[in-house]
Structures are given as structure tokens and as C-alpha cells.
Structure 1
């Protein structure tokens, strides 16, 4: 039979593990999208962790308390208990649903589809607009204001709203930049839109997240985030050029 010190040690380790998860401070998010995802995960963690500890404590108690019971009896019905855990479950599910709904309905995750990339609203005129075209097995990005087209390179200004309009030239693709919290499908003959605001300058890796053929694993793009002034300088330096692969250097 397990000793009391052993039980106490196990309980202490469980409590310390839970405390470490709750108190750990995640690294700063690199974009508004990523920050929203992190905040949602944190809210769900505060709900899931106590429930997990509660269930494990009850499980351990039941195993230790009744493991030597020579005459087990069926559980006695308790309508009050059943009503209580049903209501508690409903409240938890409602909280999870509302929390996820608030995040998923923001413009950063539900910007809506557009039928024509030429339709620019007044708000879009104030943001950096990029048009992305995916094809087997590469990415092309066009900057309408400067008539610049890049290949496997997406350059974005930091601390400025950005609108990326995606389409596909052949099959279904998906732009996925994990560190920036960006993931959006690109459909043939249709347009979808990504909105973001990146807060950290740097170089990030973008992938295609939809199986699109034998070369799917090689379909990557470099995402470079620079200061607004460096972004404008880069556009001016390559104005009118096509298939640009010269990436600017992120500034400290």
C-alpha cells in the first residue's frame, strides 16, 4: 500500500505542474492575429487545467479508497448530482463557445470573401494591400501601388494594417504563416482575404497548408517584415519589376 508521504509527494508534484503551466509567461506575439489566438488559448487553459486536476484527483482518490473493497456495490442514483454536473458542463461549453466566437468573428479571422480584387474600399486605401496568387508549386505576390511582383517572397510593413487578397491559378492552396497566426485558403477563380498587423520585424516562414500535388512540400515562401520606411524604400527600388526575389533586411 502506498505510504502517506508518497501520496503527499504525488499531490505536490501535480500542484506544482499546474502552477507552472498557469504562471508561465508565453513569448510576445508577433502579430495581432497571433495575439488573439494566444489570448483564446490562455482563457481555455484556465478552464481546462482546473477540470483536469479535479478529474485526476477524483480518479486517484477512487483507486486508492476502493481498491481493496471486497464487496463492491452499484452507484446510488443522485438526481441532484446529475443536474449539477449537467449544468456545469453546459456553462463551460457556453463559455468556450462565446470565447471562440468573439475571436473568430474579428476582422483578422473573418474578413469576408471578395468577388473582385479591383474593388477597393476607402478603408483598404489606408492599408498596405497585397495580391497573392498561388500555383503549383510557388507563390506570387503583387503590390498594385508600385506595380511590383515577387516570387516566393512576401514583404510587409510592421505596425501597419495589411490586407492580402489570395487566389489560385490551378488547385486549392493555403497560405500558412504559423508565427504570425495567418492561415487562409486560396481557391481557383475566387478571392479570399487575410487581414493582419505585424508587430515584430523579422523573417518568417510561410507554407502551403493544403495538399496540392507532388511538389506540395516544396511550396514555401519567405515573409519579411520591415519598418514602414524600409517597406516604402523597397517598393520604390523595385518599382515596375517582376519576379523580384531581393528581400529587404529587417531593421533592428
Structure 2
């Protein structure tokens, strides 16, 4: 009995520790905040359920391990209705929680075809940067190639290589495209992951909260140099961002110091 209580206490302590740790790291972007919030909601539901099931399993194993004359479980309609209804409620909660995040414009932003009202994206519709629909966000075109990333700021004719500069606390749209093969831009700390297709444009939308350097990598195998295809996401104050664009107009630039 003492061992059983100690095991249950240890399990409960572990659950409490995980729940406490789940909210200790501040999200660095709107995308990451939405994703972390969903994970926390599901964690708060999943862990108590897991502990409850394990407790029942341990109880049944201990109580009936030496039962030499087992009998079928008696019918209990009320219990069956209860666990069926409870399962339905849990699944409904998971569905609503997931849907509320998936419909966010930062997790599932409108793509070029949706913004232009033409439905599906067709190659000849978006033939150049000039064909991209207008948004109210700060915009940067990110092109993946074997094996690197090039960012273009069309309004100021500024380009960077393996550095993507964005302003903090402002809506930013990244138009992703690729040259030879499919690439995928993954920025873990900002909660961004999106494929980049040759001759097409896909949209990523974010608001970064904190200035600083963030790592970006390609997560779509794209050839021999795939493991070296990384970049720095440089988040700077809006004033520094505007000044940087003006100072480097018409040039290939290097990112400003985010500090």
C-alpha cells in the first residue's frame, strides 16, 4: 500500500511539474503564442486523463492479479453512456481548440489566389513580384535556392542573402518561392513553417514580439547541401528597420545589429 501511494504521489508530482513548466517560456511571436496556447490547452486535458487511466490500470492489476475465478463485467448502461458522452465532449473540445488556432491568419494566412479572388493559384497568374496582391503588412519576398535563402524588399530594391530582416511588433508577410526544387522555411522560435514551391508563391504571416536573432532552416530535403541551408531571422525595432531600408536602397545589404 505504501509503495502504491508513493507511486501515485510521484506521478501526480510529475504531472504538476510538467504543467508548471509548460507556461514558463514566453512566446516570441503571434504564431508561436497561438501554437503554445493550443499545446497548453491539450496538455491540461491529456495529462489528467492519462493519470486517471493509469490509476485505474494499476488498481485493476493489483486488485485482480490473483483472481482464480474471473467473471464477465456486469452490464452498466449508465457507465457506458457516461464514458461515451465524456469521450464526445473531449473530442469536441479538441476539435474546437484546434480549429480556433488553424483559422488564425497567422497560422493559415490567405494565399495569393484567395487574396485576388481567383481561387486556386495558377502558375501564369503570378508571373513576377509585380503580380503579387497587395497587403497592409510589411512585405518581403524570400526565395529558396540550392542552397540558401535570398530576401528581397521590392519597394526599396534591397536584397539580403541568408538574412531576413523584419520589424518587431508589426504585421509582416513573407512571400515564399523557390528556384529548382521545393524548399521549406522553418523558424522554430517564431512558430513558422511553410513550403516554398518553384514558380509559385506561398504566404507566411507573423508578428515578432522581441528583437534579436532567430534561426531558420530548410526542412524539405533539397539535395546535397540541404543540411547547410540555414539563415538568420533578424528582428529589429521598426525605426531601425526603416532606416536600414533607406540606407541600403538599390543594394545587396547585410542585416543591421538587432541589439
* TM-score (norm: length of structure 2): 0.89
Q: Does 1:127 align with 2:137?
A: yes
Match of 2:207 among 166, 175, 197: 197
In structure 2, the residue matched to 1:181 is 191
Structure 1 residue 8, shift from structure 2 partner? 1.6
Aligned to 1:235: 245
* Greater shift in the superposed pair: 227-236 or 173-182: 227-236
Measured in 2, the distance between the counterparts of 1:191 and 1:26 equals 36
Distance 1:51 1:157 in 2: 42
Contact 1:112 1:192 in 2 (8 A): no
Q: Find the counterpart in structure 1 of residue 168 from structure 2.
A: 158
Q: Report what 1:81 is aligned to.
A: 79
The partner residue of 2:255 within 233, 247, 251 is 247
- Which deviates the most, 60-69 or 13-22? 13-22
Q: Is the 8 A contact 2:112 2:133 kept in 1?
A: no
Unpaired segments of 5 or more residues in structure 1?
none
The alignment partner of 2:112 has SS state of coil
Alpha-carbon displacement from aligned partner over 1:137-180 (angstroms, at most 9, x marks no partner): 11111001210011111011111110100111111111100000
Residues in 1 aligned to 2:35 and 2:20: alpha-carbon distance in whole angstroms: 18
- Gaps (5+ residues) in structure 2? 114-125
Question: Residue 23 of structure 1 aligns to a residue in which SS?
Answer: helix
- Distance in 2 between residues matched to 1:247 and 1:111, nearest whole Å: 26
Residue 46 of structure 1 deviates from its aligned partner by: 1.2
Following TM superposition, by how much is the alpha carbon of 1:75 offset from its aligned partner in structure 2, in angstroms? 2.5
Distance 2:227 2:256 in 1: 25
1:15 aligns with 2:19: no
Q: CA RMSD in A?
A: 1.4
2:53 aligned partner? 55
Aligned residues between the structures: 243
Deviation, structure 1 residue 78: 3.0
For the residues of structure 2 that align with 1:57 and 1:178, how far apart are their CA atoms? 36
C-alpha separation in 1, matches of 2:157 and 2:30: 27
1:118-146 per-position Cα deviation (integer Å, ceiling 9, x unaligned): 3443xx2x421101111111111100121
Query: Which residue of 178, 182, 187 maps to 1:168?
Result: 178
Instruction: Determine the C-alpha separation between the residues in 2 that align with 1:36 and 1:26.
Output: 15
> TM-score of the superposition, structure 1-length normalised?
0.92
